[in-house]
Amino acid sequence: MRWGMLIDLRKCVGCHACTIACQNENNLPLALRYCKIFKVGPEGEYPNLTSYNIPIACMHCAEAPCVDGCPSGASHRRLDGIVAINSDKCVGCQFCMLVCPYGVRHMNKKTGAVEKCTLCFSRLEQGEVTRCVETCQLKARNVGDLDDPNSEIVRLVRKDNAQPLYAHLGTKPSIYYIMP
Amino acid sequence: MSEVKKVACHFCHMNCGMLASVENGVITKVTGDPEHPFNQGAQCPRGVSALDHLNHPNRLNYPLKQVGKRGSGQFERVSWEEALDGIAARLTELKNTYGAETLSSLGGTNRTDDFARRRFFNLFGSPNIAHTAPVCWIPNFLIEAASYGWAAFDPEIMNSRCVVIWGHNPAVSYLPEMRGLLQAKANGTKIIVIDPVFSETAAKADLWLPIRPGADNALALAWLNVIIEEGLYDFEFVNEWTVGFEELSERIEEYTPEWAAEKTGISAELIREAAQIYAAAKPACIQWGVATDQFGRGSSAGAQARAALRVICGNLDVPGGDVMPGPHPDFITDWEMELNDLLSEEQRAKQLGADKFKLNTWPGYQILTDNMVRVWGKSIPAEWFCEANAPVLFRSMVSSKPYPVKACIVLANNPLISYANSKLVYQALKSLDLLVVMDYWMTPSALLADYVLPAASWLERPVMTTTYGVSDWLIASERAIEPMFERKTDVDFWREIGCRLGQAEYWPWKSDEEVFKYRLEPIGLDVETYEEFVQCYRMAFAPREYRKYQERGLATPSGKVELKSSILEKLGYDPLPHYVEPPFSSEAKPELADDYPLTLIAGGGFMPFFHSEHREITRIRLMKPYPRVAINPVLADKFGIKATDWVWIETPTGRIKQKALITNAVAPDVVQAERGWWFPEKALIDPELMGAFESNINVCLDDDPNTCDEACGSWCTRAVMCRISKAEGED
């Protein structure tokens, strides 16, 4: 079992619904966003242009530098593949933020602990999809089991040759992207 | 007790279906309804903020009465009884002094049940309701109605082979529609986007035509020229079902792609190729885009050309084409609820602007209605489609000509921000003897009011979706909770004020649900209550039929599609497509071109806001905290402007400032300003009025009736000459 997500950049329009839905779902302070959307472009000169949007959150890496680098054992990889943080154990040293190549971990100044996308594991455990998948009007996101060859997500990853971001870093992320 | 209510989002008029979890009368969660056909379980950034909107500390909760000088911000809480009695007494007084037509109403986009507004006004005796309708859909709809008896506004994108997105950016304004578009594209449908800006939608298109702002009419005419000259049209349909094709062919001879290339900035080859793609793809459709209603003079002429394109290519009311729904056959429509027959001929004749703009006022509406009733049995509502012209109305408020307009009820609208020529609107509202505003929030316009009334939002009221009363489907949604505090629905407001003015016999319903139940009854479903309909059925879609004209004929005087419109001719307009230069372009006013060398686009929606709304909701606001004007890097360099610098935008009408968004999405001689900006965090006092004149681009737009669309009175928000400069220091 390895939970993963597929994000189709051909579909994302950068509306930020996932960003805000995630903030609400996790009751986050205003300045804290687990999921951010970056607009790339428009590149080129008018009118020869390209542009796309890319949502970025925790990549839930199988070889996660944040887990390896956590001195207190707060950051850990669950049996279902999700990288999670036990906030009771977090001492707020922020070393994980330094070693994460994706810059997706955030200090919650209120609690003094580091936080990030949980892949809504409590929702997944109840048979629901993640909040970002649920809210996406463009149906640009898909969540599923990357270890199950018959799952929808594996089928889609193969069909459109989806790739993780910065795969060359070797952290084996569980978030795949279909490039536009 | 815990239950799930089927509600409808009303943060735009898509009305996405939502599910509200209610525990002991308190809403705990709002999610998308997976069974709803539009959003299929999804929500946009506004939809996911539903609870922030409902419980926001700035929401209006009680009726307020201005006790200081108007605009002083000195309000006192009063009871609904006192507010309604006070308003009714003033209205009676003003009616006795000046006549019923002295009362006007302003609305924005659809957020209300406006059959009730019109019902009240017809009973009161005033024809002077205005919305922003002339710059949103109505010109396109009415030109289509004049040509073929209803608008073909339901393009079947999923079965289409080519979709033309013309002056429209669904990727930020209609996300469910964008989802359908991308699904269609994945299935092989060609997507053509026509937009001067490299929009979020253009970025996903197969073909983007980067048109010069305001030149859309020229492009449409050139497409007609190519399609007719090259014989790419549908001979059979044109022969059997249209009149005026010969005159059309003669007319468009002069509009060659070479002629249009100069106006549009698109090469003649590309114009030709795009026209060929559109004409060869069968079926194809042209999606309505709001930009095409906002060229001022010539907006209707452009709509005539696009209507003709649909027709001659054989896409009218065919599967995968531009489907023309017609009215719902059973459901009691808005038109049937309005009681238009009770407004006398004498009062109809007083409608402001009706002498000049005849298609969306009583003269044209009456002709359209007669034809529609003959064929469909029902007409379109007078709300939106038969209204006083707002620019004329504002001038009457100021000058008392041709007669005094002394009272205005503003409902679901912030006119200082949403109508062109904001300074004139300000003067107009200040000239009134009675201004009543009903809203969710204290707005700049509400600050000028004598009474401010708290409106219930969509979680607190039932919502019935019928697309401005012109669709053959309806989607019914219930309220999740009773209105919080003393908020009320607009139906409640109109009924209660109506009953105080002797209209009681016409308002037999005690609640919105009772009205909706009454309207649903002819459908013949066995339900006890409105809520039961929502829970058990929710929707009523008329069976989809195509080529309905084969049995019914078309709702035009000839019973055919009129490529040369006899209705427009009768009203004194050019019955054929023709070219009109937008009123504030360098071509129309060359004498100003040196001083104002740039072209302003003052429209276009952008996430996460809807029109002038949602600036109060912090999570949303933090996504776009300040107004932005899009400037090409080459232009920015010329003025030494860097990203997020404040920039003055100036036209002969006025100037405002927005922050620079430096982007290649616009051409080097074009700037696009965001619209709808005011600042709820700024001073609640006249004349600051929450920054209503600081970054509001409508300050820069003129609404002189002589520059408005000839048939529908649309004011111009596109292709306006302007100049920019960097704002320095405290400036």
In chain B, pLDDT over 70 holds for what percent of residues?
100
Chain A contact set for B208 (CB, 8 A): 47
**If contacts are CB pairs under 8 Å, which of residues 666-685 in chain B contact chain A?**
666-668
Q: How many structural domains compose chain B?
A: 3
Each residue of B48-67: pLDDT tens digit? Answer: 999 999 999 999 999 999 99
In a domain, B39, yes or no: no
pLDDT score recorded for residue B731: 62
CATH, residue A34: 3.30.70.20
Residue B160 sits in the same domain as residue B75: no
Enclosing domain of residue A127: 3-178
- Please report the pLDDT score of residue B728 as a whole number: 86
pTM for this prediction:
0.97
- Residues A13, B31: C-beta atoms closer than 8 Å: no
- DSSP code, position B592: G
Residues contacting B48, CB < 8 A, separation 6+: A17, A20, A21, A24, A135, B30
Measured in angstroms, the CA of A161 and the nearest CA of chain B are apart by 16
Q: pLDDT value at position B603?
A: 84
The answer for residues whose C-beta is within 8 angstroms of residue B607's C-beta and 6 or more apart is A14, A15, A16, B44, B45, B172, B623, B624
* Alpha-carbon distance B632 to nearest alpha carbon in chain A (angstroms): 9
Are B336 and B313 contained in the same domain?
no
Cβ-proximal residues to A44 (8 Å cutoff; 6+ apart), any chain: A50, B664
Banded pLDDT at B679 (limits 50, 70, 90): very high
Helix (H) or strand (E) holding B520: helix B512-520
Residue B17 touches partner A, C-beta closer than 8 Å: no
How far apart (Å, rounded) are the C-alpha atoms in residues B4 and B19?
A: 6
Chain B residue closest in CA terms to A29: B619
> Contacts of residue B49 in chain A, CB cutoff 8 Å?
20, 24
The CATH number that applies at residue B316 is 3.40.228.10
Tokens 């609305």 label which residue? B107
Cβ–Cβ under 8 Å, residues A100 and A117: no
The answer on pLDDT for B111 being more than 90 is no
CA distance, residue B687 to nearest chain A CA (Å): 32
Chain A contact present for B99, CB below 8 A: no
Could A46 and B210 be called an inter-chain contact, meaning their C-beta atoms sit closer than 8 Å?
A: yes
**Contact list, B45 vs chain A (CB under 8 Å):** 15-17, 19-21
Query: Could you tell me the maximum CA-CA distance found in chain B, to the nearest angstrom?
Result: 71
Cis peptide before B391 (omega within 30 of 0): no
A45 shares contact with chain B (CB less than 8 Å): yes
CB contact under 8 A, A30 and B203: no
Distance from CA of A42 to the nearest CA of B (A): 6
DSSP state of A177: E
Same domain, B74 and B182: no
B584 found inside a domain: no
Residue B253 belongs to a domain: yes
| Residue % of chain B over a pLDDT of 90 | 97
Whether A49 contacts chain B with CB within 8 A: yes
Q: In this structure, is residue B689 part of a structural domain?
A: yes
Q: Which of B293, B323, B353 is the last residue of a domain?
A: B323
pLDDT tens string A67-112? 999 999 999 999 999 999 999 999 999 999 999 999 999 999 999 9
The residue ranges of DSSP E strands in A34-174, in sequence order, are: 36-45, 48-56, 75-77, 83-85, 106-108, 113-115, 141-145, 163-164
B225 and B345 inside one domain: no
Mean pLDDT score, A124-150: 98
Chain B residues within an 8 Å CB radius of A46: 198, 210, 632, 664-668
**Are the Cβ atoms of B32 and A21 closer than 8 angstroms?**
no
Amino acid identity at A97: M
Name the average pLDDT for chain B: 97
Q: Does B266 touch chain A (CB under 8 A)?
A: no
pLDDT at B165: 98
**A residues 115-134 closer than 8 Å to B (CB):** 134
The answer to the question of residue B443 being in a domain is: yes
Q: Is A156 on the interface with B (CB under 8 A)?
A: no
Q: Given a cut of 70, is residue B730 above it in pLDDT?
A: no
Q: What is the pLDDT of residues B428-444, one digit of tens each?
A: 999 999 999 999 999 99
Q: What is the crossing angle of helices B245-252 and B216-229, to 10°?
A: 110
ipTM of the complex: 0.95
What pLDDT shows up at residue A148? 97
Q: What is the pLDDT of residues B391-422, one digit of tens each?
A: 999 999 999 999 999 999 999 999 999 999 99
Check whether B1 has a pLDDT greater than 80: no
- Whether chain A has a CB inside 8 Å of the CB on B204: the answer is yes
Domain containing residue B696: CATH number: 2.40.40.20
**Which residues 62-81 of B are in CB contact (within 8 Å) with A?**
none
| B665 contacts chain A (CB < 8 A) | yes
Question: Can you tell me which residue has the tokens 């010109």?
Answer: B139
> How many domains does chain A fold into?
1
Whether B319 and B332 map to the same domain: the answer is no
pLDDT in tens, B456-488: 999 999 999 999 999 999 999 999 999 999 999
Q: What is the pLDDT of residue B395?
A: 98
Q: Does B536 map to a domain?
A: no
CATH number of the domain to which B110 belongs: 3.40.50.740
Which structural domain range is residue B608 located in?
Answer: 590-726
- Which residue of chain A is at minimal alpha-carbon distance from B206? A50
Average pLDDT over residues B592-605: 95
